[in-house]
Chains A and B, each alone.
Chain A
């Protein structure tokens, strides 16, 4: 199982140290390929695309509009 977490360090460029989970591109349980963009997360100055590091089944761990901090779990791929 591969974990996908929010990277730290974005806080340097942003006024808040939180990010907001945007739209999920795939549904919970969907099969994804490595390099597929799976979700966007938004901070005050940047929008980051989160890409699946491996292929497999997506398990969503944070919902759209959830506030996350660096290190928080976004999803896992099995």
Chain B
């Protein structure tokens, strides 16, 4: 039997999942800018225009409010749309359609209308794309009720979570950090993102964090690109300082697996949370608060947050690099509390 071991990028894994679901479920269709012949900026739709035609791979004008509103309506009427939004920053253009309409319709209708749609967007910076094209916005999206919000850090999770998203009945905001996807324009993706991916369809459930590395001295919780920074920091901490770090990939913001994180911090007594989104009023604060609410005495030392400072993303490379989470910053945060 051929294809025993097969490594994919996140972008390719997403494409596989989308193609499978579109093949097996006629109600699944995709909308976005430049997807029909160009395949979209992630290449998720590459080759799909040819296979499925322009009514199922729909090129849209630059009309986010119109398109996302339409996706919500199509979902309410029994279809299963995926909308690709190249950069998560663009949610600003159509925030009503996302947060007030798509996210709230199931609730406001008392469950009468489901909204089974997926909004796929890239997040993150680190390549000088400046303030309006480098944001992460995990917190902004996770904060609004009514949307499931997920973000894989590797190709195995990516494919499984996309199957889950397309088969579920809820509005899912599916994010992927731009340094992890494997887009042609950014050289190679972060190495840890390319892993073995089964050829057959499978699901990775939402609401379950993944312990990627077991440890005893400190818990490192990471999201997206910061997962890989955390893994690198953990390696260096072991080698250089004999510190044993447990690394958890959050991968699902809503629903959030508070249990797994709490259990880990209970074991290690020390927490460092890393997230490329802005520092204040976001994911890192939520994780710390969640653990504290369950039992603040598990903290042997104050929890640490490694995030993007509360500033718009600067264009100039030295300034941007200063702001981004990194293995070095995570390592230092650990050393500050151990």
Contact = CB atoms under 8 A, between A and B. Distances in A.
A–B touching in complex (CB under 8 Å): yes
A44 B1 CA distance: 36
B166 to A, nearest CB: 22
A23 B194 contact: yes
A76 B188 CA distance: 24
B5 A36 contact: no
B5 A27 contact: yes
B4 interface: yes
A26 B3 contact: yes
B8 interface: yes
Contact of B3 (A22, A31, A42, A47): A31
Contact of B1 (A31, A36, A42, A47): A31
Contacts of A26: 3, 5-7
A31 B7 contact: no
B184 interface: yes
A61 interface: no
B159 to A, nearest CB: 14
A22 B2 contact: no
Given A23-B9, A23-B194, A25-B8, A42 B2 contact: no
In this complex, which of B2, B3, B9, B182 has the most chain A Cβ atoms within 10 angstroms of its Cβ?
B2
Nearest to A23: B194
A36 B7 contact: no
Nearest to B46: A49
Contact of B2 (A23, A24, A33): A33
A42 B188 CA distance: 10
Interface string A16-32: 00000011111100111
A55 interface: yes
Contacts of B9: 23
Given A42-B184, A47-B184, A25 B6 contact: yes
A30 B188 contact: no
Contacts of B2: 30-33, 36, 55
Interface string B1-23: 11111111100100000000000
Nearest to B189: A23
Interface string A26-59: 1100111100110000100011000000010000
B3 A30 contact: yes
B4 A23 contact: no
A47 B46 CA distance: 12
A20 B169 CA distance: 42
Nearest to A42: B184
Given A32-B2, A33-B2, A24 B7 contact: yes
A33 B8 CA distance: 16
B184 A23 contact: no
User: Top 10 nearest A-B pairs by Cβ distance?
Assistant: A31-B2, A47-B184, A33-B2, A27-B5, A25-B7, A23-B194, A32-B2, A25-B6, A30-B4, A30-B5
9 contacts: A23-B182, A25-B7, A26-B7, A27-B7, A31-B1, A31-B2, A31-B4, A37-B12, A47-B184
Interface of B: 1-9, 12, 182, 184, 188, 194
Given A23-B182, A25-B6, 8 more contacts: A23-B9, A26-B7, A27-B7, A30-B5, A31-B1, A36-B2, A37-B12, A47-B184
